[in-house]
Amino acid sequence: MNIHPWTRRAALLLAALTVLLSGCTTYVTTQVTAFSDWTSNDAARTFAFTRPPGQQNNLELSTYERIVAVELAVHAFREVDSAQAHYLVGLSYGIRSDMVTVAQPVYYNPWPGPYWGRPFDPWGPWGPWGPYQSAYVNQTYPIFTHLLGVRITERATGKEVYNVTARNSGEESSLVRAMPYLARSALADFPLGNGVVHTVKLPLDKNGSAANEMAAAGAVPAAAPAAASGAKVAE
């Protein structure tokens, strides 16, 4: 898909503003796009992960598979040996960095603090007769775009039945720290209809990370069905 340069610039600018507000941000916002031909029932939800040639011993991929497996379990998927699996699940992922420049206003104060008898100007950028003149200084920020794709196919026929992509942007430079949010968002409302695009907002936990990051260490939460309970979906 070709993205118009102005569309890409607008997206990067929005991401830059997100970085500027990150000090008070309590949600991670992810765009999710799904293509679906899903007609299965819970009884058939056995799966195994499949990997491309040369990736059988990829530790990074193994880590992300554990995170995705936790989210699949929320929707009654059960991981089994590939020979017994009804579905094969393949992952794709990546991270890209960009630099975004944002013009920041700098106000000129013609009435220095001592004039008011205080070490600061109580009017802020507004003087007693209106706003001060402002200038602009360019500030450059790094923006990181994180991506996760989850593709589900029937093992017996090779037919693709579900393909979902989750993408978010922000100041987080680590894909492994972003992955729990991507996985949970991608499967937050499984199964989505064909061609559905929506936005998922997930709350940060008290440590600034998703609860299922523990899956990266091989642990499985005791109450897996609650993993997606904090998701907010905006169509």
Residues whose CB is less than 8 angstroms from the CB of residue 142 and which lie 6 or more positions away in sequence, other chains included: 97, 98, 99, 100, 171, 173
- Choose from 103-112, 161-170, 211-220 the range with maximum mean pLDDT: 161-170
Confidence of residue 223 (pLDDT cuts 50, 70, 90): very low
pLDDT for res 129: 54
Instruction: Specify the residue for token string 């607008």.
Output: 10
The CATH number for 176's domain is 3.30.160.150
Q: Which domain holds residue 94?
A: 5-20+27-104+142-234
Tell me if 90 is assigned to some domain: yes
User: Would 137 be classed as within a structural domain?
Assistant: no
Lowest mean pLDDT among 27-36, 134-143, 170-179, 223-232: 223-232
Number of continuous H segments (helices) and E segments (strands) in the chain: 3, 10
Q: What is the pTM of this model?
A: 0.68
To the nearest 10°, the Cα dihedral for 190, 18, 141, 143? 10
Is there a domain that residue 135 lies in?
Answer: no
Q: Is pLDDT at 226 greater than 50 in this prediction?
A: no
Instruction: Please state, as a whole number, how many other Cβ atoms lie within 10 Å of the Cβ of residue 193.
Output: 10
If DSSP codes are grouped into helix, strand and coil, which group holds residue 130? strand
User: Does 85 reside within a domain?
Assistant: yes
Reduced to 3 states (helix: H, G, I; strand: E, B; else coil), residue 234 is: strand
**Euclidean distance between CA atoms 144 and 174, whole angstroms:** 9
In a domain, 124, yes or no: no
> Given this model, what pLDDT does residue 110 score?
58
Q: What is the mean pLDDT of residues 130-157?
A: 85
**Could you tell me the two tokens for 213?**
């990051």
In a domain, 119, yes or no: no
Q: Compute the average pLDDT of residues 95-121.
A: 66
What is the three-class DSSP state of 69?
Answer: helix
Using the predicted structure, report yes or no on whether residue 213 has a pLDDT greater than 50. no
Instruction: Find how far residue 225's CA is from the centre of its chain.
Output: 20
What per-residue confidence (pLDDT) applies to 98? Answer: 86
Distance separating alpha carbons of residues 113 and 6, to the nearest angstrom: 43
Residue 109 lies in a domain: no
**pLDDT for 100:** 79
User: For 154-196, what is each residue's pLDDT tens digit?
Assistant: 999 999 999 999 999 988 899 999 999 999 999 999 999 999 9
The per-residue pLDDT for 137 is 81
Measure the CA dihedral 23/213/146/40, to 10°.
Answer: -130
Q: Does residue 92 have a pLDDT over 80?
A: yes
Task: Tell whether 129 is covered by a domain.
Answer: no
What's the number of domains the chain is made of? Answer: 1
C-alpha 192/C-alpha 33 separation (Å) is 9
Lowest-confidence region among 77-86, 111-120, 222-231 = 222-231
Asked if 58 and 98 touch (Cβ cutoff 8 Å), the reply is no
Q: Is 170 exposed, middle or buried (0-12, 13-18, 19+ CB in 10 A)?
A: buried
Least confident of 48-52, 193-197, 200-204, 213-217: 213-217
Choose between 214 and 130: higher pLDDT: 130
